[in-house]
Chains A and B, each alone.
Chain A
Amino acid sequence: GQQVMQIPQYQHVQEGEDFTTYCNSSTTLSNIQWYKQRPGGHPVFLIQLVKSGEVKKQKRLTFQFGEAKKNSSLHITATQTTDVGTYFCAGRRGTASKLTFGTGTRLQVTL
């Protein structure tokens, strides 16, 4: 079945440092979404990427969808303690409505 892996599993940074998580799918995706889950909370939608090579920015967050539509990345510039949480990518195949979630990257930010 479809697998979506993320690296790293965990990253600890100091506030102000940059952070990147990478998402790789075993199959081509029609679109990819990113979610953030705070400790004890539920996933919250961040963004969706649809086009090959697409890049989108949200303030300090930059999202990229690979040319082959099998990988994606999320980059955070100058992390803040409010960025703490687990970041999941989630991909869709074809016209399917269901999402396959990646393994997640847990980000810890300290002062």
Chain B
Amino acid sequence: GAVVSQHPSWVICKSGTSVKIECRSLDFQATTMFWYRQFPKQSLMLMATSNEGSKATYEQGVEKDKFLINHASLTLSTLTVTSAHPEDSSFYICSARDQGRGGSEQYFGPGTRLTVT
């Protein structure tokens, strides 16, 4: 149980275009999901906390108008990278907590590798 999926697993886009990444909790409901960004050989940096039915909470330094987050249902959160530039190329990973199980561990999706050319 507690599986999180992401789509797409990788995407290449041209500079200036927008890319949408989906994060789904497959067998549990997640009122809260988290979006991370990881550059090669670096740690996971939390970008934002996605809350179902309300606005996302962004970390300091993360542009909310550039990284649009929508958490419209208890099983789906989306991250849209708007007007992508090469410096946005990174590994984007979402995670969710299965609060229904009472645990505090986070289950991570397989990640989306974004390359902006």
Contact = CB atoms under 8 A, between A and B. Distances in A.
B43 A1 contact: no
Contacts of A98: 34, 46, 49
Most chain-A Cβ atoms within 10 A of its Cβ — which of B36, B44, B60, B97? B44
A42 B106 contact: no
B109 A45 contact: no
B78 interface: no
Contacts of A88: 43-44
Is chain B's binding surface mostly helix, strand, loop or mixed?
A: strand
Contact of B44 (A43, A45, A97): A43
B28 interface: no
Interface stretch (A12-20, A56-64, A66-74, A99-107): A99-107
Q: Name the interface size band of chain A.
A: 20 to 34
Interface string A68-106: 000000000000000000001000100001111111101
A32 to B, nearest CB: 11
B43 A99 contact: no
Nearest to B104: A48
A41 B44 CA distance: 13
B111 A103 contact: no
Given A88-B44, A101-B44, A42 B109 contact: yes
A100 B108 CA distance: 14
Interface of A: 1, 31, 33, 41-45, 48, 88, 92, 97-104, 106
Interface of B: 32, 34, 36, 41-46, 49, 60, 93, 95, 97, 104-111
5 contacts: A33-B104, A42-B110, A43-B95, A88-B44, A97-B97
